A and B are shown apart, each in its own frame.
Chain A
């Protein structure tokens, strides 16, 4: 089934709203197709917290709709409690500083 761009946007908003941690990525958590997406998945797996990974490149229009909505050009894009916290660099930095653990602990409470 092919989604229209309006349906894609609705899906994106829904995923962000309904999941405490959502990752829009290249590939899936089981099979990431990019090192940066894999790195983010590994961080959340190591933290042992539930998260949802959405493949944003299966349909090339999807990432355009996503980036237009989020004003963020690259993948992965990580959302915690409905808010964009960043891509791979920021998530790594936040993990190293302990900020990610604090944010996630607060979010999954």
Chain B
């Protein structure tokens, strides 16, 4: 299971200036939902936006780790 505060901080570090909300969907700590508003998303497609989040969390997900099994992502552009 993953530490929600750590997940939030990993995304914030990867995307400075972003607003991140992390929710545990099941109470088990491994099915998470993140809502991320970030200025870095401007001009990027959804695949790129999600890949930026996956990159920030790569040490917590397969194939590296099984800490996070499922990650629901919602992204939007945050204007600076």
On A, residues with C-beta under 8 Å from B are: 36, 63-64, 67-68, 71-74, 84-87, 89-90, 93-94
* Prevailing SS type, chain B contact patch: mixed
Bound complex: CA A42 to CA B74 (Å): 21
Interface size class, chain B: 10 to 19
List 18 contacting pairs A-B, 8 Å CB cutoff, sorted by A: A63-B62, A63-B63, A64-B62, A67-B62, A71-B54, A72-B47, A72-B54, A73-B62, A74-B61, A74-B62, A85-B46, A86-B50, A87-B50, A89-B50, A89-B73, A90-B46, A90-B47, A93-B46
Residues of B close to A94: CB separation below 8 A:
46
Q: Which residues of B contact A (CB under 8 A)?
A: 46-47, 50-51, 54, 58, 61-63, 70-74
Instruction: Point out the residues of chain B lying under 8 angstroms from A63, CB to CB.
Output: 62-63
Other than the given A64-B63, A89-B73, A90-B47, 10 more pairs (CB < 8 A) read A67-B63, A72-B47, A72-B51, A73-B62, A84-B47, A85-B47, A86-B46, A89-B72, A90-B50, A93-B46
Residues of chain B within 8 A of A64, CB atoms compared? 62-63
| Residues from chain A with Cβ under 8 Å of B73 in the complex | 89
- Neighbouring A residues of B63 by C-beta, 8 Å: 63-64, 67-68, 73
Report whether A71 and B72 are in contact in the complex, using a CB–CB cutoff of 8 Å.
no
Contacts A64-B62, A64-B63, A68-B63 hold; do A74 and B71 have CB atoms under 8 A apart? yes
Nearest residue in A to B58 (C-beta to C-beta)? A73
Q: Are B70 and A74 in contact (CB under 8 A)?
A: yes
Across-interface contacts of B62 in A (CB, < 8 A): 63-64, 67, 73-74
